[in-house]
Structures are given as C-alpha cells and as structure tokens.
Amino acid sequence: MAEIFESPPTQEGHYKPLGRAKLLDHDERSIRMGVSSATVEVTALAPDLFRVGMFPEGRPPDYASEAIEKEDWEPVAVEMSGEEEISLSTEAATAHISLGSLRISFFDPSGRVFAADDEELGMGVVELPEADVFSAPSGSPVRLYKRREEGERYFGCGERTSGLDKTGSHQVFWNVDPPSGHTASFNNIYSSIPFTLSLAGGRAHGLFFDNTHRVDFDLAKADEDRAYYGAEGGNVVYYVFCGPTPKDVLDRYTELTGRTPMPPMWSLGNQQCRYSYIDEDEVRKVARNFRERDIPCDTLYLDIDYMDGYRVFTWNGESFPDPERLMAELKGQGFNVVTIVDPGVKIDLNYPVYVEGRERDLYCKTVEGEEFHNVVWPGMCAFPDFTNPETREWWGENLRALVDEGVAGIWCDMNEPSLFVPRQSTMPGDVVHPGGPEDEPKYHAQIHNTYGSLMARSVREGLLRLRSDERPFVITRAGYAGLQRHALQWTGDNSSWWEHIWMSMPQLQNLGLSGVAWAGVDIGGFFDDCNGELLARFTEFGVFQPFCRNHSMKETIHQEPWVFGEPYESVCRKMIKLRQRLLPYFYALFEECHRTGAPILRPLLFEYPEDETTYNADDEFLLGSALLVAPITRPGIEHRHVYLPQGTWFHYWTGGRFDGPAHVLAHAPLGEPALYVRANTAIPMWPEMKHIGERPTDPLTLLLYPAEGAGESVLYEDAGNGFGYERGEYARRRVTCRASEAGISVSLKEQEGSFVPERSSVYLEFRGISARPQNVSVNGEEADWRYEEGRLVVALAESAGETRVEVRV
Ligand code: MIG
C-alpha cells in the first residue's frame, strides 16, 4: 500500500529494548518502575482498562493528550502481588509484569492472554547517532512490540480505505490531503486513530497507542507472530481494553476518548452540497427543485465561493448580498444552511480577522519566530495555532456573524492542515505552535495529527458559547483519536467511480470500530463525472450512512438527485424517502452510540465476533443490529451475493425469509437494494415528509417481522435539539416481540423519561403473517386491526404506560 506524502522516513538508529527494571513505588491502582533513565508505569483505570506509560530520558509521567476526555477514574479494586513477577489484578483482568527484562502482558480469569509484550523485543527506544539527537525535536523514536496470539486478527486503525481485516498490513498515522483524492490503495489519509481492535478465538481486546507524532503499526506483516507500534518521538503511552466483546472494547474506548454528542435531529436528514452553489439564485433554485420534485432534503451547503476572496468569516457581497434574508427564506422552506470554514487566514492588512490574529499573536511560527506563511485558497496565509486556548476562543468568537445571520452548522475543511506549496503538502515538522501562557511551545511534528481535532474543537466550543441551547453541528475532514466528541467526520475527496461505493463500506466500518461512528462519504462521488445508474446505486447505499450528503467537485457534471432524469430520479426519491421514514431508527442508534460508543453503521463482526466469515464481509454492513444492507457496487447487474449471519432475516422488499448463517443470491433491481430486517426487532418509522419538522411525527409505525423466537429493540425520542434530554426529557421504550406457533406477543414497555411525543397514534405493522389472525388484542381488549396479504396493522393509542399486544393466529 502507498504510504503517502510528508511522512518523514524513520530515523536511522539502534533499537534497544528495555532491560532490567527496578520497582520504585506504587499506589492503590498503579505501580512505577525505573529502567535505566526511563520510568514505566502500569495503571488499572477500570476493571477492564489498563494504561501503560514509558517516559524516556528522565521525563516525568504525563498522560495529557488531545485524545483523552476522561482523566478521573472511579476507584477500582486492585490486588498487587509478587516481587520479580508482579501481578496487578482487577476483577476482570490481570496485568503481569516481569522485572527481569521488563515485559508486560495481560490475561483474564478464563486464561485468555492478550496484548503480551514480545519476549525478545518488548518496548524501548531507538538510540540515535549524536548528530540526529540534536535535530530530533521531541527525543528519540519509541517502539512497542506485542506478540501476536494464536489466530489473532487486527481491525480498526481509523479512516482506512482498504478492507476490514488489517492483519498482515503496515499502517501509517499521519494526516494528509491526498492530491486528486484517494483510492483503496492508499494508507494514511485525512485523520489518524492509532487504535486496533483484535479478535482471537472470537474474543476482543483493544490497544490505543496515544502518540501524536508520526506513528506506524506493523500488524504481523514483517513477522507473522508479532505486531509493532512505533512513533517518531515522545513517550510510549498505550491503553489496553480487555473486552471480551467488541461492544465492551468500544464502550471503554469511547468513555476514555469521548462519545459522539447527540446530533441535532435536522442533521440526520438528507443533505445536498456542491463545490460550489455559486450565488443566492443557484441556492434558491436547488431548494426549489427539492420541494417541487418531492425529494426530502433538510440541509444545503455553501462551499468556499460564498466568501470574499476566500477570506474566512466574510461573504462575497455580489453573489450573496443579503445572507440573513436568504437564510431566513430557506429556513421558512425547512432548509438549514451549513457554511465551510478553512483554517488559512489571508494575509491582508485591510482584513480585520488577519490583523487581529496577528496583533494577538495567535498564529503558528517559524523556528526563527516569524509568522509561518504558506499558500492555500486565499493566496498567502497565516495559520491559527489551535493548540493555544486563546486562539480557539478567538476562532469560535469569529463565528458570531455567521451564527447571527442564521447559519446552522460549520464545515471544517483543509485542517490536516493542507498547504499548496509544495502541492497538497502539510506544515514542516519544525513549525512552532507557541501554545498558551501555560504551555511549552511545540513543534508541528509533535502535534501534527491533532491540528484538525483542535480546529473542530474550537468550532464546537464556539457554537456552544454562541447558541448554548442548541446542539452544535460541526463537520471535520481531519482529526486525531477522540475527534468524535467535537465533530462528525466526512471522508474527503472520493470519486464518482463504482469502486468507491465498495470502498465507502470498509472506510466507514473501520471508522466506526475506532470510535468515529458519525461519518459519511460524499454520495455520488466528489471527483469525476457521475452518471444516472451510478448515482442511483450510490444513493441506495448512501442513505444508510449516519451522515447522508451528496457532494461534487467544481467542473464535474452536476449530480443532484434529478439531474439524470428517469428512472434515476425516482430511485433517488424512493431511497431518500426511505431514509426519512427511518429517522427514528437512526435516532435511537445515535442515542445508543452517544451512551455506549456502539457504531451506527456496523461491520457484521461487531455483532457476530465468533463468526469468522464476518471478518472479511466488508461489502455489506449492519445498521444497528436489526438492518443488514448489501449494496450493488457494479454497473449493469441486479444480483449479488449476501452473507446473512446467525438468526432469521426477512428481505425488506419481498418479505422472503432466510435463516442464517446463509450465503444467498439477492435480486436487487434498481430501487430495491438488498436490505434485510432481523426477525422480532421492531423498526420505528415516521410518516413521509419533505423535511424534518414539516409535520408532527404522527403516526409512528413499528415495523415487525415476527418469526418463532424473541427479539428486542429500543425506541428513543426527545426534543431533537437542545439539552433537555440530559435532565430526563426523553422517552425511551423497549419493544419486545415473542412469536410461536400459537401467536405473537409484543410489548411496548413503560416509557422511561418525561418527554411527551407530539402525536396521537402508533401503528404496529407486522409483515410476513401467513393467514388472517383469529384475534388481536391490546391490553386485553379487542384491538382495531386490519389484515391484507400478509400484512397486519394494529392501531395503538400513544401512551406512556406498558402496552401489550397479543395476536392469536
Ligand atoms: O482543495 O472547498 O474535500 O469537499 O468541496 C479543495 C473545496 C478544498 C476539499 C474538500 C471538498 C471541498 C473543496 N475542498
């Protein structure tokens, strides 16, 4: 795989694993050791989470990191024993430390061993020749070698375009803006998440290597019995998540690095973008087309041309003479507007934003102490030092005018950062980030991968200050581990190619396994010309993404849903309407993700880790646990193979039943992508609408495919914006369904939380019912129901109490 651009070569030097360790001291949860001039610390943060730190060259332990949200962990019961061989045990796992030559491994009460140091190589420092020590800004390269356990397979690694399984690969973590877009042969692209989720014998553990320099992993490529985690400088700080399920790993990982915030409901709807809708009239025309053609849409984007000469926080007065009026008008039609903001600030002494940043000394510097300059869209620019809290606050404050004019959200682009000289490069490693008054200045090489996250953070925090009662909507292209707590990530510049429908699936699943669940690719593809069939198939896939936005590049053919005429327009309409109807299902998944870190768009292995067939099933995916989607990714075909894991599945369009595990050939003509619903799990659906808020969500339909056995799903609702849900203003209900030869019992459990949905009725819609039922009751009384060709619809009144439905067949 191509490792790209600006990745400095690993310095030459001599690797020296740590030798004999001496126990220094311990407290209730950590032990500390000295190994020549390094300090090593092992800490139990939670029963299933351990942290290891190695601090070379006499540096004091320091775990502060842009990735980490949670620093104070509740007390945890830890037992320590041994002298030469030390055990640090919680109820869930043990860290085993050999002092002889320092090696650390982990095991759990079942005897499973994981994340064990390689006996021979362990961890240590690369000793550099004298000359290099002087030029290395942040010390020597550091390395960690772990043994690969029997059958261990590696997943995760953040934004990756190639398949799901990372075993046998070399992974680079260094944010870049790849010229002319990316393909599946690329390695590192816009964001970096040095995290692996491993499966061995169906059980999971995770390893997060927290280092913001250039990092690389060798996942049993050079040696099939060993994995390597290394960085160009800094310390070795890593976290081990004991699992044993992928759910457990993601739950702890996102507790540590932060969870995806609850999104504003409007942002889950369909979104439309173009580089660029060039003036007010074009924006109005696009809006009108959506409404007249009855294609749902909630959000429109303004790309860089809305600005005056690409000066951030300005408007081009000729093409957008009255942004406030435009946005009010669009708001009236149910559209939200999102504007792009780039980090580069044009050097122009008549431009107040530039001048203020300069006067307040908020830009990055050269080693000589001058403002660092490079070229991006506006021409020569200065770049905010987002490591400085004052810069972040200033940047956030600059959003005030946009917010006052009615902009609904902010799109952060170019924040790797991407520079034009040389073409699509990034900052040289010796650029200085002076930081705030409390900070030590840092070289860019030390913090490169965090630049995007810090920009997104300043925007989120700024929006929260400006509109404290609204959930911020922030998009970012670049970032580091933990970026999910600041923004959603869209995956940059793909292309209008068939291959890129496939590529999107592993890309989003890898992100989801790395904590970034709120993500999406440009529907239709960014570069190159789209066509009708490609757009239709791309949309059949794209509407199932957590973030659903069509976007394309200047000078390519337009690709709004109607551009290619029939039958494609109708396919896009049908799919976007299906997404619109599925929004309550999506919303419940977002809430689950917000609480537990579970990905929204999931690889099958997340739910079925014991089934190895799922490990490479990266051309299909689950949405939550109840929907399985298998898009068509080639032109001119209507059939494809689908793997259905354990359980009973129903084909959404035909109602056909399949008992997994099974390999099936799906018939998927245009407009009917292969979509399966798991038996006995209710899917909540709204009535059709042109945009969120067009009408009350009345009635709510719960779609159910019963089959002998039982299932459960969750309905979650709240105001769709604001923070009332944090004070209990939500409505959560479990919906259980049990079916047998005699009948079907469904129960909507009593509501948790105080939110009252605005509607009068709920329908239960059963599909796949072979004959007219004898009797249907709701809470013991004869129900209002109708049956037609396998479909049974039962009317329920909206109520907060438990509602039991019995169907006698
Ligand atoms: O150098 O703002 O990925 O979505 O349309 C290109 C123009 C800059 C790259 C983004 C793309 C956006 C484009 N931007």
Mean pLDDT of 179-200: 94
Atom of ligand 1 nearest to the CA of 276: 5
DSSP string of 118-174? PTTT-EEEEEPPHHHHHH-TT-S-EEEEEEPPTT-EEEE-SS-SS-S--TTEEEEE-
Mean pLDDT of 410-425: 96
* Strand segments (E) across 656-697: 657-667, 674-678, 683-685
Q: Are strands 743-748 and 683-685 parallel, antiparallel or unpaired?
A: unpaired
5 pLDDT above the threshold of 50: no
pLDDT given at position 131: 56
- Whole-number Å distance, alpha carbon 601 to ligand 1 midpoint, is 25
pLDDT one-digit tens code per residue, 56-80: 988 999 999 999 999 999 999 999 9
Q: Residue 493: CB within 6 Å of ligand 1?
A: yes
Mean pLDDT of 291-298: 98
- Whole-number Å distance, alpha carbon 410 to ligand 1 midpoint, is 14
Q: Quote the tokens at residue 583.
A: 């929004």
Mean pLDDT of 497-518: 98
In the residue annotation, 342 being an active-site residue is answered as no
Its pTM surpasses 0.95: yes
6 pLDDT above the threshold of 80: no
Whose alpha carbon is nearest atom 5 of ligand 1?
275
Mean pLDDT of 526-543: 98
Mean pLDDT of 512-524: 98
Mean pLDDT of 384-408: 98
Nearest to 93 by CA among 225, 218, 239: 239
- Whole-number Å distance, alpha carbon 551 to ligand 1 midpoint, is 10
pLDDT given at position 136: 54
If one counts every other C-beta atom within 10 angstroms of the C-beta of residue 87, the result is 14
In the residue annotation, 416 being an active-site residue is answered as yes
Q: Residue 748: CB within 6 Å of ligand 1?
A: no
**Alpha helix segments (H runs only) across 258-297:** 280-292
Atom of ligand 1 nearest to the CA of 377: 1
Atom of ligand 1 nearest to the CA of 273: 5
Q: In percent, how much of the chain has pLDDT > 90?
A: 95
In the residue annotation, 529 being an active-site residue is answered as no
* CB of 707 closer than 8 Å to CB of 680: yes
pLDDT given at position 134: 47
For tokens 């002092």, the residue is: 99
pLDDT given at position 128: 84
393 pLDDT above the threshold of 90: yes
Predicted confidence band at 1 (pLDDT cuts at 50, 70, 90)?
very low
Predicted confidence band at 130 (pLDDT cuts at 50, 70, 90)?
low
3 pLDDT above the threshold of 90: no
Considering the candidates 413, 522, 560, 672, report the single residue annotated as catalytic: 413
Mean pLDDT of 38-55: 98
Say if residue 224 is exposed, middle or buried (CB neighbours under 10 Å; 0-12, 13-18, 19+): exposed
pLDDT one-digit tens code per residue, 733-782: 999 999 999 999 999 999 999 999 999 999 999 999 999 999 999 999 99
Mean pLDDT of 30-34: 97
Predicted confidence band at 179 (pLDDT cuts at 50, 70, 90)?
confident
Considering the candidates 117, 255, 493, 806, report the single residue annotated as catalytic: 493
Mean pLDDT of 340-360: 98
pLDDT given at position 289: 98
Q: Residue 525: CB within 6 Å of ligand 1?
A: no
